[in-house]
Structure 1
């Protein structure tokens, strides 16, 4: 399916209006539709008023209850997919301020209990040393001091044992020269130390390891309710269950190819020694 970035995340009201119109054309009250779908009347009402994003499963139940024709089912399902996808333009994020982005990420991490990170090209802020964090923001023309402080402050969440973190880093992400060789070795030491945290599972995927698919992007999955996919121009925020399940499956496939525990620490130590040499 092709997405128009300008439309992503802006179709909720259009979807709500179409569903409300279809129900009225079918001559059904909200109560009767809810009964047919095995939903609460309040949920149907919130969907029709655009206060809740319906999943594709919700849409399938509603359209089946309304006996919608196949072409209309395809149209509404496509609209629901778009409504559950949001495009975050990098330029807009920069205009809002880097510290605003850190606040959004902190809120996501606070509301989640299991977070999976697949890191293709760089170390994420939760795992980074202060020097690495500063270097990762060096491209910005704005004052980054507050953003750096907030990135480092976010790392406290790693020590909340009510949460589980799973990190997969490619060798490229670990070894990309964001900082000087000695500083990069210190960054690798930090990664190694974090493997001892009881609620953190950190693995590395060496170059040459077989992977079931070719990874194209960094992505993060929050519980089983939201996924973010990073690109050079911005990020996609996915809320549809099918999309999230697809990224969970990809993560599981890459996880089977990664090194963990003493094997991961051994590889990180080897790479750090090269930096120090």
Structure 2
């Protein structure tokens, strides 16, 4: 299935219309279908009017109850997967104000209990020093002062021991010099320091580690309900359970090749020392 950002908003309306028309062609009422699918009639009405987007399980229940032909099942499932995907473009974020994106991230972090970050290219804001954050936003054509402040405020979530964080960083992500070497040494020291927090696991994947898959994208998985993937021009938000499971599988693959605790801190100390020299 080709991912066209322009399709993503329309796909929710298309899915709602398709499910509504399938029910009507089958000669079934909302009450009958809701009972067969063990969902409320209100929820089904909201699905058919695109007020809520059904998950793949709900769609499968509806298709099964309506005895949909197999060729239509595949088409509707593909549409449901697309409807559970959202494109957030960089230009849109710039227009709205980058600090609003920080508020959205803070909301996701507040709701989640288990957060996993795969960082193949750069350090994430939760682990970053103020100088690193400012440098990482240097390409933005808008005022970033409020965004820097919001990113620093978000770091307080790391000290919430009701949450569990795992950060996987490649050597490139840690040593990529978007700031001067002396400042990069301080950034690396901060990562090592945060690895001592009881609810924060920081894994380091050194260059030369034999990993079978290339590190293509930065991504974050919130519990098992949402995954966000970063690209140069924006981010993709996945809510389909299969997409989330796929990203978790990739995360666990890299996690098995990462160094943690003392082994990770030993490497971090070595890299910080190299920056200072």
Question: What's the TM-score once normalised by structure 1's chain length?
Answer: 0.97
Per the alignment, residue 250 of structure 1 pairs with 250
Rounded to whole Å, the distance in 1 between the matches of 2:269 and 2:241 is 39
Task: Please name the residue that 1:183 is paired with.
Answer: 183
Measure the CA separation in 2 of the matches of 1:134 and 1:198: 28
Q: State the Cα distance separating 1:272 from its structure 2 match.
A: 0.5
Displacement of 1:110 in angstroms is 1.1
The aligned residue for residue 144 of structure 1 is: 144
Provide the residue aligned with 2:194 in structure 1: 194
C-alpha contact (below 8 Å) 1:87/1:235 kept by paired residues: yes
Unaligned segments of structure 1, at least 5 residues? none
* Separation in 2, partners of 1:80, 1:232: 26
Contact 1:19 1:48 in 2 (8 A): yes
Aligned to 1:38: 38
2:93 is paired with a residue whose SS is helix
Task: Tell me how far apart the structure 2 counterparts of residues 161 and 9 of structure 1 sit (CA, whole Å).
Answer: 37
Q: What does the per-residue CA deviation read over 1:37-73, in whole Å, with 9 as the maximum and x for residues that have no partner? A: 2333333222222222112222111111101112211
Report the equivalent of 2:21.
21
Aligned residues: 277
Corresponding residue for residue 83 of structure 2? 83
CA contact (8 A) 1:9 1:84 kept: no
Q: CA RMSD in A?
A: 1.2
Shift of 1:137: 1.1
Q: Provide the rounded CA distance (Å) in 2 between the counterparts of 1:80 and 1:38.
A: 19
SS of residue paired to 1:203:
strand
Alignment deviations for residues 83-126 of structure 1 (CA, whole Å, 9 cap, x no partner): 11111111111121111111111111111111110001000000
The runs of 5 or more residues in structure 2 that have no matched partner are none
Give the aligned partner of residue 48 of structure 1.
48
* Cα drift, residue 152 of structure 1: 0.4
**Alignment partner of 1:62: what SS?**
helix
How far apart, in 1, do the equivalents of 2:139 and 2:233 lie? 14
**Alpha carbons of 1:23 and 1:163: their partners in 2 closer, same or farther (altered >3 Å)?**
same
Matches within 5 A, 1:90-239: 90-239=90-239
- When structure 1 is superposed on structure 2, of 32-41 and 133-142 the one drifting more is 32-41
CA positional deviation for 1:161: 0.9
Report the CA distance between 1:7 and its aligned residue.
0.9
Whole-Å separation in 1 of the counterparts to 2:68 and 2:19: 11
Partner of 2:9, secondary structure, is coil
Match of 1:261 in 2: 261
- 1:227 is paired with a residue of what secondary structure? strand
Contact 1:12 1:53 in 2 (8 A): yes
What's the secondary structure of 1:121's corresponding residue?
coil
2:54 corresponds to 1:66: no
